[in-house]
Every structure is written in structure tokens, then in C-alpha cells.
A and B are shown apart, each in its own frame.
Chain A
Amino acid sequence: MKNKEFLPPIRIILLIAVTVLLGVFQNVFLAELKYPVLPLIPLTVSIAVREKELTSLLFGALAGAILDLVSSVHDGVFALTFAVMAGLISLLARYKVRDTLMSAVLMTLFFSTIVCGVFLVFNYFRVGGTPESTLRVVFPVMLIATVLTPVFYYPIRFVESKLRASE
């Protein structure tokens, strides 16, 4: 079924709730872990491959802003990065690639690489990093985000198909 021009309120509320709750969970609970885990990345990708460009961009900005709240990198940078990436992924998913798990996984890898690149530019290149510290942050972020993609991709696809069927 073709997307309507505007999202129904139930889907907006659900998406906002999931993004905000996951963001708070990430900032408060997952920050205690030894390696950085950023589930907002696969969530944003999973939303972006299913939704239209503008919606994806707005949810990307929301997820990025939540990450910005705790980030010492540079304020507002992640909101911008997430918004651009979500919009781009949504565009690719709509016109260039098929909506499959493999596409979502590859795009998560692409997305997390860009986020890590931004992190490197603002944190390590500016203050002088080491290969060890880079390995400690960058690879866990990329690997864990990629592995977590199915956890978000399938439930979002399932819920969305149910909601669309009921519309």
C-alpha cells in the first residue's frame, strides 16, 4: 500500500516514544558498559528504510539530539549527522535499494562509519588519539550497531505492516 502524505498520529507517537525511550536507555543504562553501544543508529536506519525522507530526517534529528545531550564531541553535530544520514538512507531505500534486512545491515554499517568518522574528526584528530583508543570506540560502535540491526528492523517492519493494514 502506498504511504499517505502524512503519518497517522499513532505511528508518530509510537516512533517518538520508541526513539526517546531507547535514547534515554542508551544514555543512562548502556553508558555503564565497557564498550560504547549506540542502538539509536540501527533504530534510525530501521525507521529510515521504512519511512519517507522528511519523516526519516526528523526522526534522525531527534535521535541525534538525544545523543548530543551526553556527547562531549560538539553540541548539535550528531543531530545534524543523524538527520542527513537518515534522509539519505530513506532516499536510497526508496529509489535505489530493496527493502531487505541485508540493505538495512549494510546501511547501518555505512551510517555507523559516518558517525564514527564525525566522532574521530571532533574528538581524536582534534586532541590527538591513539590506535588503541580508536579501536576501543570505533569498532565496537560499528560492530554492535550492525549486529543489532535485525533486532529493530523486524519489529518495526512487523508493527508498521500491521498499522498499515489497519489504516
Chain B
Amino acid sequence: MSRFFKSFKFKICVVILAALLLGVFVAGIDPDGAAPLSKGMSIILKPLNMAAEALKESFASMQADFRGAESYQEEISKLQEEKESLKEELVDYERTKHRLSAYEAFLDIKAEHPDYSFVPAGILMRDSTDVFLSFTLNVGSDDGLSLGDPVIYGKNLLGAVRELTPKTAVVYTIFHPDVSVAAYEIRTREDCYTESDAATAAEGNVRISGLARTTPVVSGGIVCSSGIGGVYPRDLYIGKVTRVVNSESDISAYALVTPDVDFSALTDVFVITDFDGKNG
């Protein structure tokens, strides 16, 4: 083994490892938060990822066909063909309906806030090890995205762009502890901010902190972004209060808020790249 450590190949290995370590440091200080290797890989692998995503969708429709064929196998071929074709249309319809609902909500918010600039995006990949449900979008800095851009579905705030490559962007959701949103409860107008940890996120909640112990906020209250700080636009929907709890460490209280969106079922989202009052 000592022969290997004295060989030229060992020196090459050390140089490669040093370059990878440098990449980690570069990612740490880079405003995009991505290592050079990741940026390169995102460009190279994007077509392959998109093809895999398309394949996944076609697998889903094939599965529907297979299930349908089982129940129709005793019918005459003409009827079967007709039903199969109708089923295909139904799959298309469901997919279009899903996309349409996203665009309808988008139109609403676009009409209400003409100052917003949007970039439509599809969810390309998810981090299966992440309890905070972060996901990767099929758009990146080449499409005009920048770090910190809010990501929405309809009027719901999903999270913010936290890592950026030319072709992809990693979004940390509002469940992530690194994402804190200045918020307010719409009935009481009480200011607060969101925070989270692994346990809260695992239950599908975010916490809103900074409430007074005598807070009038009650279950069912609606929490929206307040726009303070210019990081997120005002009045994006965060979720509904499910429980108000007195803090054990100080005299404040916090509330658990459950978002209305099923984060794991999302396929299309919008990134707000600019809005009135945006910080910087």
C-alpha cells in the first residue's frame, strides 16, 4: 500500500480531492450557492433529467391503461378501443386540468399584482432524504432566476430559491429552518415570522413565532406574508393556524400553521423574479 502513496497516481488523487474540497468552499462563498461541478453537471444532465421526467409521465399513463384493460377485457374490441381512447383523453384532461388550475390561480395573482414578474417552472427532481420537502426546478439563472426568489403555487407561498445553477434551481420550502418569512395573521393583524425544525416539518406544519402570550390569534386564523424586509411580496398565503402554544422558554407564544398545498403532489410552480418593494 505504501507504494501507492509514493506513486504519481496518489498525487493526482490528492489534486482531485483538493479540487473537490475547493468546490465545496466555492459553493459556500458563491452567491449562487452551487459548486462548479454541480453547475456543469446540471447543464449536462438537464436533457436527460427532462427525458426521464417525460418517461415517468408516460409510465403513469401506461399504468392507467393496464388497469383499464383488465376491467374491459371481456368487452368487444370496438368498445374496448373506444374506451381506451376515452381513457387516454381522460388522462390528458386530468393533466391539463391540473395545469390549468395552476395557471388560473396564477392569472388571479397576476391581475391583482401587475408589478410581479414570473417565471413558470416545472419540478424536475426531489431530494428524497429531505424532511423539509425541498425540490429542484427545471429553470435556473439562465432563465432570470436569482437566489432568494420566492416560489409560489397560486397564491400560496412555497419557499425560496436557495441554490442556483444555470439550468436548475433548488428550492427550500417554508418547512426549511433556513427559510423565515415575515408574516401576519389577517384577522388580528398581529406581526410574526415563520420558523421551523425537523419535528415541526415532519408533522406538515410551520411555526409562527413572535406572538404575545395574550395573543388573540386562534385556530383557523389565516397567516399571510407581510412583505416586511422586501424578501417576499405581501399577502402570499402561508397557511391556517391549527394550534396556539405558550412557549416554555420565554413569555411569548407560537402557533402551528398548516399550509393548504400538498407539497409532494406539486408539478408546476411559478417563481417571482421581481415585485414592487423587493429588497435589492
Q: Which residues of A contact B (CB under 8 A)?
A: 20-21, 23-25, 27-33, 35-38, 52-54, 57-58, 61, 65-66, 68-77, 79-80, 83-84, 87, 91, 94-96, 119, 123-124, 127-130, 132-133, 136-137, 141
CB distance B20 to A130 under 8 Å? no
Known: A127-B177, A128-B198. A70 touches B136 (CB 8 A): yes
Q: Which residues of B contact A (CB under 8 A)?
A: 1, 4, 9-10, 12-13, 16-17, 20-21, 23-24, 26-28, 33-35, 37-38, 41-42, 45, 48-49, 52-53, 56, 124-132, 134, 136, 162-163, 168, 170, 172, 176-178, 197-199, 202
Contact of B198 among A52, A84, A95, A133 (CB under 8 A): A133
Contact of B38 among A37, A75, A95 (CB under 8 A): A75
Nearest A residue to B21 via CB reads A80
Contact of A72 among B42, B53, B170 (CB under 8 A): B170
9 contacts between A and B (CB under 8 A): A21-B48, A28-B52, A29-B52, A69-B168, A76-B20, A127-B198, A130-B199, A130-B202, A132-B199
Within 8 Å CB of B49, what residues of A?
A: 24, 27-28
How far apart sit A31 and B134, CA to CA, in the bound complex (Å)? 11
How far apart sit A81 and B170, CA to CA, in the bound complex (Å)? 20
How far apart sit A37 and B129, CA to CA, in the bound complex (Å)? 8
Within 8 Å CB of A69, what residues of B?
A: 38, 41-42, 45, 125, 136, 168
CB distance B197 to A37 under 8 Å? no
How far apart sit A128 and B177, CA to CA, in the bound complex (Å)? 9
Within 8 Å CB of B45, what residues of A?
A: 20, 23-24, 66, 69
How far apart sit A25 and B127, CA to CA, in the bound complex (Å)? 13
CB distance B27 to A133 under 8 Å? no
CB distance B176 to A72 under 8 Å? yes
Q: How far is the CB of B121 from chain A (nearest CB, A)?
A: 15
How far apart sit A24 and B142, CA to CA, in the bound complex (Å)? 22
Nearest B residue to A133 via CB reads B198
CB distance B125 to A31 under 8 Å? yes
CB distance B16 to A74 under 8 Å? no
Q: Other than the known A33-B128, A72-B172, A83-B16, what 15 A-B pairs have Cβ atoms closer than 8 Å?
A: A21-B48, A28-B124, A29-B52, A57-B16, A70-B126, A71-B129, A74-B28, A75-B24, A77-B24, A79-B38, A123-B130, A127-B177, A128-B197, A129-B198, A137-B129
Known: A20-B45, A83-B17, A132-B202. A70 touches B127 (CB 8 A): yes
Nearest 4 pairs between A and B by C-beta? A76-B35, A75-B27, A76-B24, A72-B134
How far apart sit A76 and B39, CA to CA, in the bound complex (Å)? 10
Listed residue (B130, B132, B199) with the most chain A CB atoms within 10 angstroms of its CB: B130
CB distance B199 to A68 under 8 Å? no
Nearest A residue to B18 via CB reads A80
